[in-house]
Structure 1
Amino acid sequence: MNPSKRREKAKNRRESGRFILIPHAVLTSSDYIGLSYKSKALLVDLAYQYNGRNNGDLTAALGYMQTRGWKRSATLTDAVQELMVANLIIKTREGKFQNPHSRCALYAMTWQQIDECEGKDLEVAPTATPPRKFSLEKQSKHPLLKA
């Protein structure tokens, strides 16, 4: 029996498909809470690209992000910068814009380990642990969350 059928039978539910995983420790951090709405939206769109094996190969290139509803390059640039300053993403490859060898910048979420991304020429080495360990940080007290 295949794994999804076993899970469905064992738990009496269907496979839910892919989902976005942003831990509560990230969402309750003061770095996340202090973000602008555009940066929070970009973080969700970057997390949407993550498949469990490609952290470090996430793009914020306008050509791709237009399919996600983004319209302006300047808005994306501002949001990327804000996410990097907040240490929620890191740049894993610098973008180059020269014909015919243009390539976009790539990013990784800091709460997941950086993966080996074959053929992507990442400038950051893969890691066995996440670059930022939110679970070890003192979390801000959000008024709506119980301690």
Structure 2
Amino acid sequence: MTRKSKSRSAHKRYISIPHCVVDSASFAEIHGNALKLLTLLVRQWNGYNNGNLTCTWEQMKPYFGGQDTMRNALKALIKHRLVEITGTGTSQRLGGLPPILYAITWEAIDEYRGKGVMTVKPTKAPIRNDWNR
């Protein structure tokens, strides 16, 4: 009797950025550090937490040479509308400042189940749908 083989990637997680986003002017205009940060933000997304993604220095320190580099990359993502600020979370971080929450703009914003403050309401459709313009 033959055994049904499972796909090698059946248990592997991966990130996904749609072709329409990659083909957009917004994506073409970002630099390498912004692309790296976008990849790290998309890595946090699990299909149910868009709008609850965070970008703190403690999280991103292994990937960037300095805080200014990371901040400039984040500013570029926001400027090019690849990421949107959605609110503030709660945390016991150093300095006591709560993390800012973000959403990727090609997916709908999910309901926030944390204790922070969400300034954007959940959506049924992606925040942005003008990728091909």
TM-score range, shorter chain: 0.7 to 0.9
Residue in structure 1 matching 2:124, options 125, 128, 132: 128
Cα displacement (A) at 1:16: 4.2
What residue number does 1:45 align with? 40
* Number of the residue aligned with 2:102: 107
Q: TM-score, normalised by structure 2?
A: 0.83
Q: 1:17-36 maps to which residues of 2 (within 5 A)?
A: 17-36=12-31
1:79 equivalent to 2:79? Answer no
Structure 1: gaps spanning 5 or more residues: 1-8, 139-147
CA RMSD of aligned residues (A): 2.7
SS at match of 1:46: helix
The count of residues paired between Structure 1 and Structure 2 equals 128
More displaced 10-residue stretch of structure 1: 87-96 or 41-50 = 87-96
Change (3 A) 1:87 1:100: closer
Task: Compute the TM-score of the two structures, normalised by the length of structure 1.
Answer: 0.76
Match of 1:143 in 2: none
Aligned partners of 1:94, 1:13: CA distance in 2, in Å?
A: 39
Structure 2 portions without partners, runs of 5+: none
- Bigger Rg, structure 1 or 2: 1
How far 1:71 moved relative to its partner?
3.4
